[in-house]
Amino acid sequence: MTLSASFGAGGSRVGPAVAERLGVELLDRAIPVRVAERLAVPLDDALAHDESLGDAIGRLASSFALLPELAGAMVQAGVLAGEDYRRETERIILEHAPRGEVVLGRGGAIVLREHPEALHVRLDGPQERRIEQAMRLGDLERADAQRLLRDSDRAREAYVRHFYAADARDPSLYHLVIDSTALPLDTVVDVIVAAAR
């Protein structure tokens, strides 16, 4: 299954919980490690080209260890992954698809759109509620949450638009779209697990 989440929607909490409940691997932080191995490049290079930890935002998130909401897709709109990195990321996603693993971000719904058993889920919510949830989950100040929401959403959308000529917010890409700011995240996990099963 694939999970797309706007900033503050709780994807970095929901993704691991869904994977654990389904007894499958979560493909998120492991992707750049595997890309680096396959391309025989330093991990820092793969991270710099990965949708989840791009340029300055990723370095900020890593340096302050604000993992809950900051480890989501944070590549700057102008610093997009190269074709080799994107191609290798797609190969990894496609290789893991038969095992039903949870793919967080990286245009997974588009990469696996032809996979007959893949469930595609989008987490979103009104901007103000996503800011409030990001503040709670990441222990952030409002100004930091607002800035990260703006930069992260723009980066995620730019990644999908650049590589796939699609809008990551388009509900037609997903089987299930959930306002994860209106429901407790545990309930969101329950709904996704039920749909996946």
The pLDDT, as a whole number, for residue 51 is 53
- Tens of pLDDT along 10-55? 999 999 999 999 999 998 767 767 777 777 777 776 666 665 433 3
Q: For the residues of 125-137, what is the DSSP string, one character each?
A: --HHHHHHHHHHH
The pLDDT, as a whole number, for residue 37 is 79
Distance between CA 104 and CA 54 in Å, rounded?
15
The pLDDT, as a whole number, for residue 127 is 96
Q: Which residue has the higher pLDDT, 71 or 41?
A: 41
The pLDDT, as a whole number, for residue 149 is 92
**In the chain, where are the structural domains located?**
2-196
The pLDDT, as a whole number, for residue 115 is 93
What would be the CATH architecture of the domain defined by 2-196?
3-Layer(aba) Sandwich (3.40)
Run of H or E including 121: strand 120-124
- Tens of pLDDT along 149-174? 998 888 888 878 878 899 999 999 99
Distance between CA 153 and CA 137 in Å, rounded?
17
Collapsing DSSP states into helix, strand and coil, what is residue 110? helix
Does residue 65 surpass a pLDDT of 50?
Answer: no
Give me the sign of the Cα torsion angle 172, 5, 34, 37.
positive
